[in-house]
Amino acid sequence: MFFSFFLLLLFYPTCFPARTTPLPNSPEPATTTISTTNHNFDKFIDARKGSHFSGISELKEYMQRFGYLQVTNTTSGDEFDERFEFAVAKYQKKLGLTVTGKLDAGTISQMTLPRCGVSDTSPTSNLHAVRHYNYFTGKPRWSRAIPTTLTYAFSPNCMASNLNLSDIKIVFRRAFSRWSAVIPVNFTEAESYGFSDIKIGFYSGDHDDGQPFDGVLGVLAHGFSPESGKLHLDAAETWALDFGSEKSRVAVDLESVATHEIGHVLGLAHSFVKESVMYPSLKPREKKMDLKVDDIEGIQQLYGSNPNFNIEALSQSDTSSNHGIDSKIELRSSRWSFAIAMLLILFIVC
Ligand SMILES: [Zn+2]
Ligand SMILES: [Zn+2]
Which residue segment(s) compose the domain that 62 sits in?
Answer: 39-112
Same domain, 51 and 152: no
Cα 342 from chain centre? 41
Q: Measuring CA to CA, which residue among 193, 279, 195, 269 is closest to residue 225?
A: 269
Q: How far is the centre of ligand 1, averaged over its atoms, from the C-alpha of 29 (Å)? A: 31
Same domain, 97 and 124: no
Q: Give a yes or no: residue 17 inside a domain.
A: no
Q: How far is the centre of ligand 1, averaged over its atoms, from the C-alpha of 293 (Å)? A: 17
**pLDDT for residue 347:** 55
Whole-angstrom distance, CA of residue 316 vs CA of residue 149: 31
Same domain, 47 and 156: no
Which of 86, 112, 138 is the last residue before a domain boundary?
A: 112
Same domain, 107 and 151: no
Which of 112, 140, 162 is the last residue before a domain boundary?
A: 112
What CATH number is given to the structural domain containing 92?
Answer: 1.10.101.10
Which ligand minimizes its atom distance to the CA of 117? 1
Q: How far is the centre of ligand 1, averaged over its atoms, from the C-alpha of 119 (Å)? A: 8
Same domain, 190 and 282: yes
Cα 277 from chain centre? 4
Same domain, 194 and 176: yes
Q: How far is the centre of ligand 1, averaged over its atoms, from the C-alpha of 84 (Å)? A: 23
- Total number of residues shown for the chain: 350
Q: How far is the centre of ligand 2, averaged over its atoms, from the C-alpha of 202 (Å)? A: 9
**pLDDT for residue 345:** 54
Cβ proximity of 259 and 231 under 8 Å: no
What CATH number is given to the structural domain containing 198?
Answer: 3.40.390.10
Exposure of 96 in the CB half-sphere (CA atoms within 13 A): 10
Same domain, 120 and 108: no
Which ligand minimizes its atom distance to the CA of 203? 2
Cβ proximity of 133 and 125 under 8 Å: no
Same domain, 298 and 338: no
Cα 188 from chain centre? 22
**pLDDT for residue 321:** 44
Alpha carbon separation from 203 to 37, 171, 209 (Å, rounded): 16, 18, 11
Catalytic residues: 261
Report the amino acid identity of residue 276: S
Question: Which parts of 182-278 fold into alpha helices (H)?
Answer: 254-266
Alpha carbon separation from 161 to 230, 235, 238, 240 (Å, rounded): 20, 8, 9, 12
**pLDDT for residue 348:** 57
Q: Give a yes or no: residue 148 inside a domain.
A: yes
Whole-angstrom distance, CA of residue 111 vs CA of residue 39: 9
- Tally Cβ neighbours within 10 Å of residue 82: 12
Same domain, 124 and 236: yes
How many structural domains comprise the chain?
A: 3
Q: How far is the centre of ligand 1, averaged over its atoms, from the C-alpha of 147 (Å)? A: 25
Which ligand minimizes its atom distance to the CA of 155? 2
Same domain, 288 and 145: yes
Which residues touch 263 (CB under 8 Å, ≥6 apart)? 179, 223, 277, 278, 295, 299
Q: Give a yes or no: residue 4 inside a domain.
A: no
Q: Give a yes or no: residue 16 inside a domain.
A: no
**pLDDT for residue 54:** 85
Note the pTM of the prediction, 2 decimals: 0.80
Which ligand minimizes its atom distance to the CA of 118? 1
Q: How far is the centre of ligand 2, averaged over its atoms, from the C-alpha of 71 (Å)? A: 23
Q: How far is the centre of ligand 1, averaged over its atoms, from the C-alpha of 51 (Å)? A: 32
Q: Give a yes or no: residue 7 inside a domain.
A: no
Which ligand minimizes its atom distance to the CA of 115? 1
Q: Hey, is 232 helix, strand or coil?
A: strand
Same domain, 139 and 179: yes
Q: Give a yes or no: residue 9 inside a domain.
A: no
Exposure of 151 in the CB half-sphere (CA atoms within 13 A): 10
Q: Hey, is 297 helix, strand or coil?
A: helix
Alpha carbon separation from 229 to 3, 141, 188, 266, 298 (Å, rounded): 59, 11, 14, 8, 19
Q: Give a yes or no: residue 14 inside a domain.
A: no
Q: What is the mean pLDDT of each run of 10 residues along the chain (350 residues)?
A: 39 31 36 58 86 86 94 82 93 93 94 96 57 90 97 95 94 98 98 96 97 96 98 97 96 98 98 95 97 96 96 60 42 45 54
Whole-angstrom distance, CA of residue 15 vs CA of residue 337: 11
Cα 53 from chain centre? 32
Ion ligand 1: residues, Cβ under 5 Å: 116, 118
Q: How far is the centre of ligand 2, averaged over its atoms, from the C-alpha of 232 (Å)? A: 5
Exposure of 85 in the CB half-sphere (CA atoms within 13 A): 14
Q: Hey, is 198 helix, strand or coil?
A: strand
Same domain, 100 and 78: yes
Considering just the CA atoms, what is the radius of gyration of the chain in Å? 23
